[in-house]
Structure formats: C-alpha cells, structure tokens
Amino acid sequence: MHLLFVDDDLSILELLKVVIKDTTDHTLVTASNASDAFDLLARPYAKKFDCFLLDIQMPGIDGIELCRNLRNRPEYTHAPIVMLTAMSEQMYIDRAFAAGADDYITKPFDLEELQERLDFFNNRIKDRRKK
C-alpha cells in the first residue's frame, strides 16, 4: 500500500517512516503540511496514493480541510483516510468524519494498533481491486 502521511511534527514523521519501512511492505511518503501534500498530489506522473494518514492541527490548512479536499478528488473518493492526531475532543472527531475520514486515532498512538488498522484498510483495498 502506498501511503501519504501529513503531520507538522517531524519526530512523528520520522518515527512512522522507520516503523513502516521496518515492519511492513508499505511505502510511506511524508509531508509536513497540507501545501506540501497538495504539491505531491499535483505531480503528473507520481504514483497514486492508496491511503492517507492526516494530522488535524497543522499551520495553514488543517487536516480536516485536507481530508475534505481529498474526498472531492475523484481518484481519492474511496481511499482510506485515517486521522492521526492529538485532538481527542468530540468536536474534532465529528468534524473529521463529516469531512470524509474513515478512522480516527489519537496520539500518543499504539504502533501495533496503527499497523492493525493499516492491515484492515490494505485488505479492503485488495478486495476492491478484485471486483
């Protein structure tokens, strides 16, 4: 699975890069804000992402607005979007799901739980491709 993780916390970005590389066969691309993510999405010959991991609280465009933007793109209408954020208040959870998020994980997160959820979405993607 080809993942895009967007978070302004560079230590979290680096942690996930190592974990994904060392424990899965997924590929992970990172961006530190929504603007950088949009640049990655705009590359004409870039491989399409299968799944997104988005922080909510970032400078500029937040993760909820980024999620909404992804859902408005035909190529990402059904791509899994997982919010990976410290924002645990119900208001943020409700807004994220209303914007199109598929899952919501709060920081600090359990790496094993994250891997299980990624496996779930990876299997869902594989099943959809078989149809």
Distance in angstroms (rounded) separating the CA atoms of residues 6 and 4: 6
Cα-only R_g, the chain: 14
The domains found in the chain, sorted by start residue, are 2-110 (3.40.50.2300)
Beta strand pairing status for 51-54 and 81-85? parallel
Instruction: Write the pLDDT tens digit of every residue in 29-84.
Output: 999 999 999 999 999 888 899 999 999 999 999 999 999 999 999 999 999 999 99
Residue 66 CA to residue 55 CA, distance in Å, equals 10
Ramachandran area for residue 60 (φ above 0: left; ψ -120 to 50: alpha; else beta): left
> In this predicted model, what pLDDT tens digit does every residue of 81-126 receive, in sequence order?
999 999 999 999 999 999 999 999 999 999 899 999 999 999 999 8
Q: For tokens 């793109």, what's the residue?
A: 73
pTM of the entire predicted model: 0.94
Please report which helix (H) or strand (E) contains residue 65, including its range: helix 63-71
